């Protein structure tokens, strides 16, 4: 039975990945920042009818060396998902960039020392498309982090992924550890537990409550969280996946306006399809760090070349409309129990 070290198991994607790994027969060693989080993970998975007998929880910090070698010891694979995710630009950019980059390198160093076969790293399409506005991006593209309005989060994902490739490509000798990168688009889909504090869940929650009177004019490839988890699990053992970056997102762009329209068509009263004027968001960005973090998305209308992902993984993405509506149903249920 293969053992997977899954960093960031308590996250939105992490919980779905843990579920699929355990159901596929893997032993999972999940990392959390506190044991309280660890108990929440176990309770959430149990409530989702997942057998957790092959799950262990370890406490790790992206900014500390402590515990990483022991956590990776005896593992066959590492799935590195842990990374800070906030839209708002922090006052100090290194508050996001340092844990993202250093955390990735800590995971890779520990994996290498433990003799791990392959690391699957969660990146983002932002590391490919973050400095583009129109057209089609693919796995060979990289974001120019010095371009205007590129958010700190986008920079953190780009720099963390580049650091990972540099580490792997600098290996010497015949026994080299493999790296595969999965780069999700905007992630929707029902959460596994009741936590809707993440960015996409929080936005949809506000939309349903009528707290989002306008949405930004932006459209880019989206993906369902269940598909993201599925691709990560497949990437552990797919021979052709080694040394490649895979787009986990639709080919076509989807916007916040279309998400709101799907919800209105389904009878939800809260969502608004009004487009926020760019000048208003730019004005808000002078005073609001979250608005500033959104500036790079303004006017974006991007498609992706996800053909290699679809072909190698035999993947047919869950349609965005289905993802949005199933997410809304789950969020409304959680709101009702709040």
Q: Look up residue 237 and give its DSSP letter.
A: T
Neighbour count for residue 15 (Cβ, 10 Å): 26
Per the CB < 8 A criterion, the answer to whether 26 and 17 are in contact is no
SS3 state of residue 198: coil
CA dist 3 → 47, 71, 227, 283 (Å):
23, 11, 21, 50
Q: Look up residue 133 and give its DSSP letter.
A: -
Range list of β-strands (E), the chain:
3-7, 27-32, 55-59, 77-80, 118-122, 134-137, 178-184, 186-188, 219-220, 222-224, 245-248, 254-255, 301-304
Distance CA 22, CA 93 (A): 36
Tell me, yes or no, if 157 is annotated catalytic. Answer: yes
Distance CA 164, CA 183 (A): 14
Catalytic, out of 19, 155, 157, 292: 157
- Catalytic amino acids? 157
């Amino acid at each position: 039975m293969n053992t997977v070290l899954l960093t960031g198991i308590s996250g939105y994607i992490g919980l779905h990945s843990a579920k699929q790994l355990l159901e596929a027969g893997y032993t999972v060693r999940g990392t959390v920042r506190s044991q309280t989080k660890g108990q929440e993970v176990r309770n959430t998975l149990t409530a989702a009818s997942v057998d957790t007998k092959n799950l262990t929880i370890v406490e790790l910090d992206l900014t500390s060396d402590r515990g990483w070698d022991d956590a990776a010891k005896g593992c066959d694979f590492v799935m590195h998902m842990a990374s800070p995710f906030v839209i708002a630009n922090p006052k100090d950019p290194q508050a996001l960039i340092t844990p993202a980059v250093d955390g990735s390198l800590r995971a890779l160093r520990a994996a290498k020392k433990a003799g791990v076969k392959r690391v699957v790293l969660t990146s983002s399409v932002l590391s490919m498309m973050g400095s583009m506005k129109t057209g089609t991006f693919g796995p060979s593209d990289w974001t120019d982090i010095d371009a205007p309005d590129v958010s700190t989060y986008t920079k953190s994902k780009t720099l963390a992924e580049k650091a990972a490739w540099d580490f792997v490509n600098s290996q010497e000798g015949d026994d080299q550890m493999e790296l595969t990168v999965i780069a999700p688009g905007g992630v929707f889909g029902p959460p596994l537990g009741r936590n809707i504090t993440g960015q996409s869940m929080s936005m949809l929650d506000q939309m349903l409550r009528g707290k989002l009177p306008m949405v930004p004019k932006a459209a880019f490839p989206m993906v369902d969280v269940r598909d993201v988890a599925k691709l990560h699990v497949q990437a552990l053992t797919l021979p052709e996946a080694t040394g490649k970056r895979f787009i986990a997102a639709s080919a076509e762009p989807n916007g916040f306006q279309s998400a709101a329209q799907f919800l209105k068509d389904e009878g939800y009263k809260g969502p608004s399809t009004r487009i926020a004027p760019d000048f208003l968001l730019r004005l808000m960005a002078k005073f609001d760090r979250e608005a500033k973090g959104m500036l790079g998305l303004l006017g974006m209308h991007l498609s992706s070349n996800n053909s290699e992902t679809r072909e190698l993984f035999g993947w047919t993405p869950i349609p965005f409309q289905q993802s949005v509506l199933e997410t809304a149903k789950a969020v409304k249920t959680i709101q009702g129990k709040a």
